[in-house]
A and B are shown apart, each in its own frame.
Chain A
Amino acid sequence: MNSELKKQNREYKYGFITDIESDTAPKGLNEDIIRFISEKKSEPEFVLNFRLKAFEKWKKMSPPKWANVTYPEIDFQDIVYYSAPKKKKEITSLDDLDPELLATFEKLGIPLSEQKRISGVAIDAVFDSVSLGTTNKDELEKHGIIFSSFSEGLKTHPEIIEKYLGSVVPIGDNFYSALNSAVFTDGSFCFIPKGVRSPIDLSTYFRINNEESGQFERTLLIAEEGSFVNYLEGCTAPQFDSNQLHAAVVELVALDNAEINYSTVQNWYSGDSSGKGGVYNFVTKRGKCLGKNSRITWTQVEAGSSITWKYPSCILQGDRSSGAFYSVALTNGKMQADTGTKMIHIGKNTRSTIISKGISADESSNVYRGMVKVLPSAQNARNYSQCDSMLVEDKCSATTYPYTEIKNNSATIEHEASTTRISEDQLFYLQSRGISQEDAISMIVNGFCKDVFQKLPLEFSVEAVKLIEMKLENSIG
């Protein structure tokens, strides 16, 4: 291995490709492809209709241009919309998986085989948009929790999916969500019945493997009255010189007194130092607090992708419902991130909290874009927003766009923002106490992100800290 390659491997250790036989549709998008996907998955008719309706809308739409990101126009006819690992036989247990695939996930630190499974977390492994299976299913079934791949959910509980699919992110919501609605291949489906507090965390691990295929996962999570769930999501992809499009849709629904905590650590490949390759992460995530007193929390650590365009949002419809968005977005190299949230207050006495920490290094661009909207019906709505940016070097940029739209005078809206730079004085202070420059930088950055990291489940927060440290190590050499 030459030294350049070695260096690259150190920079992104998930950059390997798994040689696996796959079942792939021809490139391009048309009605036949959509019918092909639907047929491959033997879907109920309502799903095919949903797809075709979305395709009709999508054809009339154009990609959004308002974000602070630049990239060459994407040729949507040059993308593979369906690629699934070929199954040698019907799988009844994860242990029957192709050993190559099991090995891939082991390499990623996600053991799926029975004897090595992580207790306390149920994992749904998604490889090139196709779910391979879910661990710890028995434990979940005891409590009546449904956690499976989206395709399996369509077979076992089509009535629940039909009721909620597209109820949070409507078919024609935006260009990329419409595209997803037309061509989504798989993802996770999760249903927590009334009164159940999930005893273990649920986790989906996304892995892109195919260079030419787009990634269109669909996640639907329903928390019934009085239920509670922690949901975790991790993402990695191999290093390719080309860009992969990842356009996922996540819909969450919380009924009366339900609580959903949705955490993401996103580490898609972000391209090399010259900006070549990397994932375009164009994702629509939205939660609806439909019931009274319900609560949805989005926590995200966005450290990968060459471009991130993502605004996990909350629709606060139920009275006294609350939404929160805690985010750390790190950009380095030539990465571009335009990320933030929307909090839409509809119900009375609804509350929302936004804490966003952006760290930019090298020549990257990091934008926080957030909207707080209070509708006339939302009596006594409250919002607190705090957006802090940290600049690690001179050529990077950090921008904050807070939008507020208040249609009810009883609302209380607070917004704080700051931009800091890691100062020479801070570094010198820590170094004069025997702490190396690298450790000093990660100490300062971790202190900066603390409010967000402490919202993550412990295991995830350890991973997040390590990820940020590793990323910054490459920027400050």
Chain B
Amino acid sequence: MLDIQNLHVSVDGIPILKGLDFQAKEGEVHAIMGPNGSGKSTFAKVIAGHPEYKVTAGTVDYKKSNMKNIDMLGLAADERAKEGVFLAFQYPIEIPGVSNIDFLRTSFNSICRHQGVSEMNESEFRNFVSEKSKIVKFDSSFLDRAVNEGFSGGEKKKNEILQMAVLSPRLSFLDETDSGLDIDALRIVADGVNQLKNKQNAVIMVTHYQRLLDYIKPDYVHVLYKGRIVKTGGPELAKRLEEEGYDGIIAESEKVIQ
């Protein structure tokens, strides 16, 4: 579904990703780990199409089943979303004066229009969203509040997963969705993601902690360091990192690079 070759990305002229290779298939769950400053959030944002992250080399191919490859780098952020790419933000943004439900419906309908699916009117959509809200145990009063305004950290993260539930993306990037969550909120968010993953979509989680992976079991764990994936393994890799830290694995990989 996603095939990334030799990706180089700069922000304000400073190279962050330096030759990243990555592949993901339908039905897979990937975890991206790595020390601070290794380029994890950059990876998430560049896939979603943030205009400040400039791709200087490499290719990102995105393929929907039975369809031809799409050169993702040629698409703007909104076009990628319409093709089924989703980013759950590490720091969700506040939009004062815009109600959550209006925002969700505009987003939902704009994606439906693109995919040739019929749009929903206000009352249909309210029912639809209320149903989806249960996935993250979201009180429906949140729907009429302004987008993320005055939300607690946990509420903001739940709101991201609610958006994922509403838009049912094919490729979801969760950028540190677990950070700042208490145990109960973490369980709710993780349960939500588990209910949303299926054989047709792929989930890529950026995280610092093994804890999240206790709830959402990854098929692959990758270590990102200095802008490259330096090691890939199964869930046991995350356990090893939890016990040993990054030093050992980084030392191994630097040997390989040299």
Contact = CB atoms under 8 A, between A and B. Distances in A.
Q: Which of A423, A426, A435 has the most CB of B within 10 A?
A: A435
A431 interface: yes
Interface in A401-446: 423-426, 428-437, 439-440, 443-444, 446
Nearest to A447: B97
Nearest to A437: B78
B167 A433 contact: yes
Contacts of A426: 93, 95
A451 interface: yes
Contacts of A424: 51-52
A451 B97 contact: yes
Contact of A447 (B92, B96, B107): B96
B163 A433 contact: yes
B111 A434 contact: yes
A448 interface: yes
A450 interface: yes
Given A424-B51, A436-B78, A443-B106, A430 B95 contact: yes
A446 B89 CA distance: 23
Nearest to A450: B97
A433 B93 contact: no
A447 B110 contact: no
Interface residues of A, number: 24
B95 A432 contact: no
A431 B49 contact: yes
Contacts of B114: 434
Interface in B52-93: 52, 76-78, 80-82, 86-87, 89, 92-93
A378 to B, nearest CB: 33
B110 A434 contact: yes
A367 interface: no
Contact of A434 (B51, B92, B167): B167
A132 interface: no
Contacts of B81: 431-435
B211 interface: no
A449 interface: yes
A432 B49 contact: yes
A454 B200 CA distance: 43
A425 B76 CA distance: 14
A451 B95 CA distance: 14
Contacts, number: 77
Nearest to B146: A447
B79 to A, nearest CB: 8
Interface string A293-312: 00000000000000000000
Interface in B187-220: none
B155 to A, nearest CB: 16
B54 to A, nearest CB: 14
Contact of B103 (A428, A443, A449): A443
Nearest to B50: A428
Q: Of B77, B87, B92, B167, which is in contact with the most chain A CB atoms at under 10 Å from its CB?
A: B77
A448 B146 CA distance: 11
B93 A431 contact: no
Nearest to A418: B96
Given A428-B77, A434-B82, A443 B87 contact: no
Nearest to B80: A432
Nearest to B79: A434
A447 B51 contact: no
Interface in A447-477: 447-451
Contact of B78 (A434, A446, A448): A434
B97 A448 contact: yes
B87 to A, nearest CB: 5
Nearest to A443: B98
A382 B82 CA distance: 50
A439 B81 CA distance: 14
Nearest to A428: B50
A127 B89 CA distance: 54
Given A424-B51, A436-B110, A443-B103, A431 B96 contact: no
Interface string B110-137: 1100100000000000000000000000
A439 B163 CA distance: 18
A154 to B, nearest CB: 45
B163 A429 contact: no
Contacts of B97: 446-451
Given A424-B52, A443-B103, A435 B110 contact: yes
Given A447-B95, A448-B97, A450-B97, A434 B107 contact: yes
B196 to A, nearest CB: 16
B106 A431 contact: no
B107 A433 contact: yes
Nearest to B83: A434
A393 to B, nearest CB: 16
A439 B106 contact: yes
B48 interface: yes
B31 to A, nearest CB: 21
B198 to A, nearest CB: 20
Interface in A293-335: none
Most chain-A Cβ atoms within 10 A of its Cβ — which of B49, B52, B78, B111?
Answer: B78
A429 to B, nearest CB: 4
Contact of A432 (B52, B87, B103, B106): B87
A425 B93 contact: yes
Given A431-B77, A435-B107, A444-B98, 16 more contacts: A423-B93, A426-B95, A428-B93, A430-B103, A432-B77, A432-B87, A434-B78, A434-B107, A434-B110, A434-B114, A436-B110, A443-B95, A443-B106, A446-B98, A447-B96, A451-B97
14 contacts: A426-B93, A429-B92, A432-B50, A432-B80, A432-B81, A433-B81, A434-B78, A434-B81, A434-B107, A436-B110, A443-B106, A444-B95, A449-B97, A450-B97
Pick the 7 closest A-B CB pairs, nearest first. Answer: A447-B97, A434-B81, A447-B98, A433-B107, A431-B77, A450-B97, A429-B93
